Amino acid sequence: MTRRLGSGSLVIATHNAGKLKEISALLEPHGVKCLSAGSLGLPEPAETGTTFVQNALIKARASAEASGLVALADDSGLAVDALDGRPGVYTADWAERQWFEGEPGRDWYMAMGKVEGMLQEKGGGAPRSCAFHCVLALAWPDGEYAVYEGKAPGTFTWPPRGTMGFGYDPVFVPVGREQTFAELDPAEKHAISHRAEAFKKLVAEQFG
């Protein structure tokens, strides 16, 4: 049987405020207080894995070891069928921009445009089917861990639409909807997202 998380503090291995807010909302009903790795001053480890599972475990283990607390890491990305699953594990990397005014950062519009440009190179009839993938990795300071996976199929659309959400949400239309993730009410998105599916599995095993 998988080790139980229980209530208390949990380090979320992220420096992304949007991701922390979304994960906190999903765990709050279970009495879990979420702290970000960024707020604790923990460094971001190099994501050297070639799969979502590998990268999620790298991040969770690094935060657990550095903080002495149980840590949860999310590794997620967009896989576009016509692009052989890209950007995949490099989803965030595609948004990396050069140093600007002394600060590095991510330009998500640039990243979304890169996907659109590559699809256009394939021709106007290129299929736009894609899916968001999510892997959640729980890691305890003593080395034990658990992994949960989720997937949300959909279609890549252009131009981007909506102001809610983050990352590639403005160009992703989930199956069964006409709005992008960035146009949906956050509560509705949370109910159908790839992260939500992974969390349902986590909650069923950890709090069920």
Catalytic residues: 75
Query: Comparing C-alpha atoms, which of 132, 119, 129, 149 is closest to residue 92?
Result: 132
Q: Which long-range contacts (CB under 8 A, 24 or more apart) does 110-116 make?
A: 111/87, 111/168, 112/158, 112/160, 112/168, 112/170, 112/171, 114/87, 115/78, 115/80, 115/83, 115/87, 115/156, 115/168, 115/171, 116/156, 116/158, 116/171
The residues near 204 (Cβ < 8 Å, ≥ 6 apart) are none
Given CA atoms 196, 202, 204, 208 in this order, what sign does their dihedral have? negative
